[in-house]
Amino acid sequence: MKKILFTGGGTGGHVFPIIAIAQEMSRKDSDLNFSYIGPKDFCSSTFMGKEKIKTYYISCGKIRRYFSVNSIISNFIDVVFKIPFGIFQAFLVMFFTMPDIIMSKGGFGSVPVVIAGWLLRIPVFLHESDIVPGMANIICSKFSEKIFVSFPISQTEFFPKEKMIETGNPIRNGILGGNKEEAQKLFNLTYEKPVILILGGSQGSERINEEILEILPDMLKEFEVVHQTGLSQFKRVKGESAAFVSEDAKKYYHPYFFLDEKEMKHAFAASDCVVARSGAGSIFEIAATKKPSILIPLPESAQNHQVRNAYAYADTGACVVLEEGNFTHHFFLEKLREVLRDHAENMKIAAEKFSKIDAAEKIAKNILIYLT
C-alpha cells in the first residue's frame, strides 16, 4: 500500500484542494493510505476525517513581513521555537509512518513538514495556487521534485520552469452539479430578485462583511443575498442585519457562517453573480461553476497575489475587479447592476474557457505515475 502524506497551511484554500486530490487519487487507485500533517484549524479538523485522511497536528510558525514591535517579537518566537519544534514533530511522525511521497499545498503549515521530509529523503511534490507564490512555497520549492501551478507557466514567477507543470487549481467535484430547486429548499429562496452569493472564504472577510452590512437595506431592494460570513463574524453580522433590515426585506437575506460542499453546490447553482475575494481557490471554483463575478482582492495579501490573481482572471473577461478602496455603497451596487445587465452572458463563457475542472485529476495522475 502506497502512503501519501499531504501538508498545507491553515485555511480552506489549502485544505479543499488537498481533499480534491485525495478523492481523485482514490478513484484511480483504491489501495492508498492518506495522512495529513499541519496546523490545527477549522477546515482540517472538520473535513480531513470525513475523507479518511489521518491527521497529525504540529506547531507552526510564520514570518510576518510588516514592521512593528509585536511582529519582531512574534517572528523571533516562531523562528527560534515554533518552526524548529514543528520540524521535530513532523520528523517523528514521518520517521514512524514513512510516507512514500509528500504532496504540499503550501502555506505556513507546510514548511516544517517539507523540511523534515527532505531530511528523511522523502520526495516532495508542491502545488502553487497563485500567480505570485508566498514565502512558504518559495522555501519549499527548493526541496521539491515537481511544482504544479494553477496559472499559465508564462505568468508564474520564482520557480524553475523545468520543475513546473500547469494543472489549474484543484476543486472539489462536490461543488458541481447543484440545482436551483434544491437551493430554493435549502436556503428558503424566493427567486423574486437576482440572487447574489457573497463569499468571504472559510475564515470570512471582516471588511467585506462591514460594507455589506452598511449597504444591505438598499441591496435587498434589488437583490436576494446568500452571504457566507465566516464563523467568527456570524453572530455579529446576523444580529446587526436583523436590527436594521426591515421585516419585509428579511426574506431576501440568508446569512451562513460556512457553506459545506452540498450547500456550496446549490448556492452556486442559484446565484446570478458571485462576490468574493480573489484567492485562487475562489477564482477556480467560480470559473468551474461558470458564474459572473465581482472580485475584491485582499490588499494585504502576501506578494500582492490576490490583486495579481484578480486582474489575470479579469483579463479573460470572466470578472470585474473592485479594489477595496473603491468598494463603496453606490459604486458597488452600480457594478452589480452593470454585470447583470451588460456582461453576465459573456462572463459565463469566459469563465468556462478559463476553468480547469480536471486539475485534481492531472495532479493525481502525475503522482501515481511517479510512484509506479
Give dist(CA 105, CA 13) in Å, integer: 9
How high is the pLDDT of residue 78?
64
Same domain, 233 and 343: yes
DSSP state of 3: E
Q: Are 197 and 134 members of one domain?
A: no
Which bin fits 188, alpha (ψ -120 to 50), beta or left (φ > 0)?
A: left
Do 11 and 101 fall within a single domain? yes
Same domain as 31, residue 64: yes
In this prediction, residue 269 carries a pLDDT of 97
Q: What pLDDT is recorded for position 278?
A: 92
- The band of 237, judged by pLDDT with boundaries at 50, 70 and 90, is confident
- Which of the pair, 155 or 370, is modelled with greater confidence? 370
Residues 313 and 327 in one domain: yes
pLDDT above 70: residue 209: yes
Q: In the prediction, which pLDDT does 40 show?
A: 85
* Torsion 312-317-202-19 (CA) sign: negative
CATH number of the domain enclosing 122? 3.40.50.2000
- What pLDDT digit, counting tens, does each position of 254-312 carry? 999 889 889 999 999 999 999 999 989 999 999 999 999 999 998 877 778 899 999 99
Residue 152 shares a structural domain with residue 198: no
Average pLDDT over every residue of 43-48: 82
Average pLDDT, the chain: 90
Asked if 48 and 36 touch (Cβ cutoff 8 Å), the reply is yes
Share of the chain above pLDDT 70, in %: 93
pLDDT digits (tens, 9 = 90+) for 58-102: 988 766 665 566 666 765 666 666 888 999 999 999 999 999 999
* 137 and 220 within one domain: no
Evaluate if residue 113 carries a pLDDT over 60: yes
pLDDT given for residue 79 in this prediction: 61
Query: What pLDDT does residue 172 have?
Result: 84
Segments forming the whole domain that contains residue 112: 2-171+358-371
Let me know whether 106 and 186 are in one domain: no
Q: Is the pLDDT of residue 214 over 70?
A: yes
Phi and psi at residue 370, in whole multiples of 5°? -60, -35
What's the structural domain count of the chain? 2
Q: Read off the pLDDT band of 118 (50, 70, 90).
A: very high
Task: Tell me which of 291 and 173 has the higher pLDDT.
Answer: 291
Average pLDDT over residues 16-44: 91
If one compares 70 and 235, the residue with the highest pLDDT of the two is: 235
CB contact at 8 A, 102 and 95: no
Regarding whether 52 and 10 lie in a shared domain, the answer is: yes
The amino acid that residue 168 corresponds to is G
Do 205 and 157 share a structural domain? Answer: no
Statement: the pTM of the whole predicted model exceeds 0.95? no
Average pLDDT over residues 104-124: 94
Q: Are residues 179 and 276 in the same domain?
A: yes
Under the banding of pLDDT at 50, 70 and 90, the label for residue 371 is very high
What's residue 10's pLDDT?
Answer: 65
pLDDT in tens, 128-150: 999 988 888 999 999 999 999 99
- Confidence bin at 201 (pLDDT 50/70/90): low
Let me know whether 87 and 127 are in one domain: yes
How far apart CA 185 and CA 57 sit, in angstroms, is 38
pLDDT value of position 231: 78
Per-residue pLDDT, 202: 56
Measure Cα distances from 223 to 195, 248, 294, 297 in Å: 6, 13, 15, 23
- Of the pLDDT bands very low, low, confident and very high (cuts 50, 70, 90), residue 12 is confident
DSSP bridge pairs for 146? 125
199: which strand partners?
228, 276
